[in-house]
Chain A
Amino acid sequence: MASMIMASSKPVISIAASSSFFSKPKLKQIPQLSLPKLPSPKFLKTQQIPSLSSTTLKSISLFTVTTLSFAPPSLAAEIEKAALFDFNLTLPIMMVQFLFLMFALDKVYFTPLGKFMDERDAAIKEKLASVKDTSEEVKQLEEQAAAIMRAARAEIAAALNKMKKETQLEVEEKLAEGRKKVEVELQEALANLENQKEETIKSLDSQIAALSQDIVKKVLPL
């Protein structure tokens, strides 16, 4: 390989050498002959480029062609061996191999796995769609549940009101009864008190007479 690179670089070096060999005298000639009055370096440089491209390139190319065609025998053998653009039966064989690989890969890879992936995609999409449907169902069920709860709450509230009214009535009745009882007992107690008062007053009257006689006896010494 290294020898190859060295060998291939040989003509390149000779081209470079030849170009310098051919271009040097012309470069010297042009500023001297055609433009002696304008020695500015910028203009000289611009003038050099067309002179190189127009005339010397042809001679360079001619020279390279001759050097390549009259290459030393060892170099020629190397170039002959290095068959980069060597078309032969390999080309159609590679075509057939590629087509075989295409059909085989299609059979074992592209078609089955692609089909499998598509089916899985479809299944996942279906499942997702069905999940959306159940969400609607869930909404309906939630609404139903809410309605049932509302009805139950209303029922309970009604029952509670009824119970409250009933209990209130009962309580009021019992209260009225209790008041009546208390009043009756109070009146009885008042009547008793009156009686006792009259009795005590009567007894006191009799005692008063005795007491006053005693007081009179004690005060008025007989």
Chain B
Amino acid sequence: MNGISNALNGLYDISGVEVGQHFYWQIAGFQVHAQVLITSWVVIAILLGSAVIAVRNPQTIPTAGQNFFEYVLEFIRDVSKTQIGEEYGPWVPFIGTMFLFIFVSNWSGALLPWKIIQLPRGELAAPTNDINTTVALALLTSVAYFYAGLSKKGLGYFSKYIQPTPILLPINILEDFTKPLSLSFRLFGNILADELVVVVLVSLVPSVVPIPVMFLGLFKNGIQALIFATLAAAYIGESMEGHH
């Protein structure tokens, strides 16, 4: 009996995810979550490396890699154009980086074998698994749409708060807080829940059964990246559009 429970504990230790456990580094007296930084560096390296290799020498008739990156760029342009409108050009890098970073982060959590690398505490997972990352991205989105509105309309941007009637002023102000909140928690909750579901299923039924859930997780991860980028573009477009 004791042996069995020991073996089970060992299995749990192998398959376990350590929720809310962080590997801390001290930087100038402040604590940082090292596991998030390490995985985000890997994601950034993947993105930059693949982009450099694929786009280094563009051909008129694209090679396979260049073709893929052209497809991604057209997809991002399409998303930004639908949400922002004709003046989408300057926002393509922001929306595109948002989409690519979140997408590669999410998929890296599901596909890269992070668990091979052992940390003293906590474990490596998708960078979007940490609330700091998602809040950082959501706050940048807020800054972006404020910048977009202010640079387009100047101080007249703030007149949108009393439209259509001044009664809606509190709700309009509240929206500026709910937008980043919903953006960040949606992404954080989805990615964390996905990893938890997979881990719990693996610990309960170690074979076959978790596989469909893993595929569902991959699908959901992509959808979350698309949702985040699309909403960011929609917010920017909303603050840029002319009021009546």
Interface residues of chain A, those whose CB is within 8 Å of chain B, are: 1-5, 81-95, 97-106, 108-114, 116-117, 120
Contact = CB atoms under 8 A, between A and B. Distances in A.
B214 to A, nearest CB: 17
B20 interface: yes
B12 A98 contact: no
A105 B132 contact: no
Given A1-B203, A85-B131, A95-B136, A114 B48 contact: no
Nearest to B43: A101
Interface in B19-55: 19-22, 27, 30-33, 36-37, 40-41, 44, 47-48, 51-52, 55
Contacts of A2: 8-9, 12, 16, 203
Contact of A90 (B19, B69, B96, B133): B133
Given A94-B136, A97-B44, A109-B55, 10 more contacts: A2-B12, A81-B20, A87-B132, A89-B32, A102-B93, A105-B48, A109-B73, A110-B73, A113-B55, A113-B69
A108 B36 contact: no
B55 A112 contact: yes
A126 B33 CA distance: 54
B136 A98 contact: yes
A93 B44 contact: no
Contact of B101 (A1, A86, A88, A101): A101
Contacts of A113: 55, 58, 66, 69-70, 73
Contacts of B21: 81-83
B92 A110 contact: yes
A139 B41 CA distance: 62
A74 to B, nearest CB: 16
B135 interface: yes
Contact of A93 (B32, B47, B92, B140): B32
Nearest to B30: A89
A98 B96 contact: no
B218 interface: no
Given A1-B12, A101-B97, A114-B73, A89 B27 contact: yes
Interface string B180-215: 000000000000100000011001000000000000
A117 B48 contact: no
The list of the 7 closest CB pairs from A to B, nearest first, reads A1-B16, A82-B20, A2-B12, A89-B30, A90-B132, A94-B136, A106-B93
Contact of B55 (A92, A108, A120): A108
A32 B70 CA distance: 74
A95 to B, nearest CB: 5
A101 B94 contact: no
Nearest to A113: B55
A88 B48 CA distance: 26
B73 A87 contact: no
A88 B40 contact: no
B15 A83 contact: no
Interface centre among B47, B51, B58, B97 (most CB of A within 10 A): B97
A83 B16 CA distance: 17
Nearest to A82: B20
A10 to B, nearest CB: 15
Contacts of B37: 90, 93, 97
A108 B12 contact: no
B48 A104 contact: yes
Given A93-B32, A95-B140, A110-B92, A86 B20 contact: yes
B225 interface: no
Contacts of A93: 32, 37
Given A2-B12, A91-B136, A102 B97 contact: yes
Interface in B104-148: 127, 130-133, 135-137, 139-140
